Each structure stands twice: as structure tokens, then as C-alpha cells.
Chain A
């Protein structure tokens, strides 16, 4: 089975993230990049599926040059090879452009199953998996906390408000996973060494037949009009419980008309 896992490099959520004042896009240079946490679960699931059903796992990342660090991490976990889609023309792409660019790269790579995280910690749109399914015209198996493949059929548990739906589809398909699905492995020393020798193919937009006028800041379907640091929350009142903490909290709730 030919599995492609989409991995994004994002700013470390522990650092302060900023928008650039010039073009109002995320300032990716100013912060340390890490693997989007949820994508580690996607890589883990891809590796497990490969272990159970055979095949190959390819990492696909769209991002600036330094995203190679993220690619190495996924390779160190055990993926076989990687494709790094990188081009200055892609800077500022929104979800629609990103899904278009990734779908073109995926068509070039070829796949039975595309695996994604359910959300990125920076953009947080949670739309990419559904958009890719639409663009690639394959079934959408998203928000999975359990995956089983038998024959050509994939059955997942899709997390819902009330519990879960059992959903089935034929391959090829797009799968997204939630963090309950597995426990991502740590790269071993051997894995880290091996990752250095694994093939990473670099693609510019032309290589993947990505139209320049459909990507990047200029093509974005939506734009930030303005932004500002959120006004700091007014410091709250903190009291120590002296046996009447509950009553005091009730006074506060009453003052705010909650009771």
C-alpha cells in the first residue's frame, strides 16, 4: 500500500507567535519550527498500517526551507522517503491554495491512502483533510480514532458530538486522525542515523504542475484586514480558600448575575 502522510511544520506553541506587519502572514522565521503535534499521530498511524499491510510511507510537507527539520523527524520515526514542496511562490497560501498545491503534489506522487492530522496548531482550520478529499475526488475518512483495513475497504470510527460514527470507504481515500488513536513512537538513535540517508525529493511549483496564479498571498481567497494583540485580560481577583472559598466564588458569580 502506498501511503502518503502530510506533515506540517508549525511554530512551537510554547513560544509567542506573531503575524508579520508587512503582509499579515505568520512570522515563521522568528520562531522555532516543530512538527505539528497532531501530525505525529498521523505518521504513527501510517507506520502501523504499513507494518500490518506492507507498502511504503512517503512524507509530504509544504513549507519553507527549514521545514526539512520536520521531514527528518518523520523519517527518523520510520517513514521511507519524503517530498518537500517548497517555493517562494507558495508563501502566504491560505487553506484553499494549500489544499490545491498539496493535491497536485499528491497526484504526482500517487497514493492509496493519504493520512493527515486533524488540525494544525497554527492555522487551526481543520479543513485541509476535507478539502483534499474534495479536490482528489476520493472518500473522506476524517477525525478517526480507530482505523481498520480489510481487502480494499477501510473502516474507521469517526469522532462525533454524541460518540462516534462507524464509517466505511474503498481505497484510495483521505484519512485524518485524532490524538486518541495511538501513541507516537520516539525516533530511535538508529532511526535518526538512517533518516539522514533517506531520499528527500524537493519540488518547486512547476514540478508539480501547480499554477502560480492559484497559490501564494496574491491568490489567497481570504485576507487579514487588520490585526492587533489582544488587550491583556484584566487581572482577576485571586483569593486563598480559608474555608469559605466556595461562598466567595458564589459572591463573585452573583455579582456577575450568573446566580
Chain B
């Protein structure tokens, strides 16, 4: 079976969960080969990739790859596509993943599909568009399929692969060195799972009322082992940092469970969360549109309901 390249998403030497999902998906369609771009690969990371089925691990470990924005990673993948003729290339549908996919598609004259929530035989991708109103099946018909897959689209399943490491060295072109990263600024990130990867997300909106009150949301999130999200009204008010915004112009999340507290459910918010498998809403307005999406809704004051729910969760765990 031919190889399927999976671009590894990693932070501080750790492989992100979405990569394990992509390897699982790749295994059902061909032979997964992981591509590691940048310095910092560890034995533990290699073992993890192999555990989830990577037969090969291509490593280009130079700093240049990550010191310039997006273009070097696209160049690396293009180089591997020319050399290995894979059947497809999978990346995570994060903002950066989609940008990499876009540049790669131009470079290799190949079709690209973004925000796939499923991928089957013949690399036919499933997508959910127009705020969840329409389900689409689409496919690439020119070149090698490049598919950006949303985190949480598949459950990662371990199945050992050989994990044979192969060093790759790439001569970066001048064009790929156009946009230099001068500095990386990390804003507070606690022990919580990352928003786009989390199986459970608890989000707060304008109804939370203040920055201090977000501790109510965090309390429930921690009881459930969830990530915290926020509506734009809450991030605009400065109650929660922008990188936690869920929606059209924030993160797109697709968790198993999404809890929305004090969020009305504006179309731009829905665009970022409507593919969640189960949705729970807490809102004091029975007419709030979020209830149209909710599998379970509580009409009430979140300041009562959410702490009580957090207590119950802790009790029953």
C-alpha cells in the first residue's frame, strides 16, 4: 500500500493528540508515514508515533523550518511528495495547518480539502458547511489529495508501526525565508487540555458577567477534565484571553461534549462548535438560540447551575 504523509503537530517535543488521530485515519487508507518538522524530537515522541502506526518517521530537525512562517513546512512536504510519491498528505485543520496545506497545494498543483470531519475510501472527505446546515462529500480530482482534518474527527487507536526514522535534509529556498519569527510570546496556559484538542469544552459568554466569575467556568472545566472556551463577547470584554475564543473568528472545536454557559448561540459562535457530538446549554433566557442546538438545556442562572453541576461531577467521579 502506498504511503500517506502525516504532518506531526508538536509542542515542546510532545506529539499532539490530533496527530494520533491522523495516523489512525491514515492507517485505514494506506501506510502512515509521520513527518516531523523542526528541532526537538525525542525518543518518547518517536515511540508515540510508532505506537499509533507510523511505519516511517521523516525528520527534518533544523531550526530554520520553524523560524520562518509556514512556507518552510510546505517546502518540506513538497520535497517529500516529490521523493516518496505518497497517496495523500494529511495535516491538522488548525489555522497553520490549513495555511501549510494551501501553499503545498499551489506548489504541487494538487487539490486540497479543508476542515474534513471524516475521510474514507478514495479519499472522499466529509465536511459540514454553512454553520452545520449542509453535509458535503468531496474529493480531490487533480494531483495528490491534500486534506486538512479537524481535531476530534476520529478516535485515536493504537496499532504498532515500525517507526523507522529517516533523516531528511532540506535546502530552504530564499522565498521560504521571507517572514521571520522574531519572538514567540506564550500567554498563560495552565494544566488544562488544549482547546481544539479537548474531548470536553466548557465555554462561558457574556452571561458570566466578569473576569473573576470565569472561575465558575474553570471550576466545571476542571471537574470534567475539560478545556475552557469563551464567546467573543467574553474575550472582547477582556474577561478571558483571545486565544480561547470559540467561533468563526476564534477556534473551531469539535469535542465529544460542549457546555455553553451564558452564551446566546449567535451564528458566528455556532460556526466554531456546531460539530460537537453532544451539546449542553445553560442560559437564563428560554428563547436563547443555543437551546435549538442543545441535547440538554437548563433554563436558569449559570451562577447557581454551573457550581452545582461541578459539585455533582466531583461527587460522582
Interface of A toward B, CB cutoff 8 Å:
13-14, 16-19, 37-38, 94-96, 99, 118-119, 121-122, 124-131, 133-135, 137-143, 145, 155, 157-170, 173, 178-180, 220-230, 233-234, 236-241, 243-250, 252-254, 256, 258-259
Contacts and interface: CB of A to CB of B under 8 A. Distances in A.
Interface centre among A160, A161, A244, A258 (most CB of B within 10 A): A161
Given A14-B267, A17-B133, A241-B304, A166 B139 contact: no
A52 to B, nearest CB: 21
Contacts of A138: 178
A161 B184 contact: no
Given A163-B243, A167-B179, A227 B187 contact: no
A121 B94 CA distance: 16
Contacts of B179: 139-141, 167-169, 173
B252 to A, nearest CB: 9
A162 B112 contact: no
5 contacts: A13-B271, A14-B267, A121-B271, A124-B114, A166-B182
B196 interface: yes
B110 interface: yes
B74 A241 contact: no
Interface string B54-86: 000000000000000111001000000000000
B132 interface: yes
A222 B103 contact: no
A143 B305 contact: no
Given A133-B103, A164-B185, A96 B129 contact: no
B257 interface: yes
The 7 closest A-B pairs by CB, nearest first: A241-B300, A246-B308, A139-B178, A127-B102, A221-B111, A250-B312, A163-B187
B176 to A, nearest CB: 10
A149 to B, nearest CB: 14
A230 B300 contact: no
A161 B313 contact: no
Interface string B274-306: 000011101000100001111111111100111
Interface of B: 11, 69-71, 74, 94-96, 98-103, 105-107, 109-115, 124, 128-143, 175, 178-187, 189, 194-196, 200, 224, 242-243, 248-249, 256-257, 267-268, 271, 278-280, 282, 286, 291-301, 304-313, 316-317
B148 to A, nearest CB: 9
Nearest to B248: A121
Contact of B114 (A126, A143, A178, A249): A126
A179 B313 CA distance: 36
A56 to B, nearest CB: 24
B111 A222 contact: yes
Contact of A246 (B69, B194, B297, B305): B305
Contact of B295 (A145, A222, A237): A237
B293 to A, nearest CB: 6
Contact of B178 (A17, A169, A256): A169
A34 to B, nearest CB: 13
A221 B280 contact: no
A150 to B, nearest CB: 13
Nearest to B312: A250
Nearest to A180: B242
Given A221-B111, A222-B138, A246 B307 contact: yes
B192 to A, nearest CB: 13
Contacts of A121: 248, 271
Given A161-B243, A167-B180, A252-B280, A96 B112 contact: yes
Contacts of A94: 111
Nearest to A246: B308
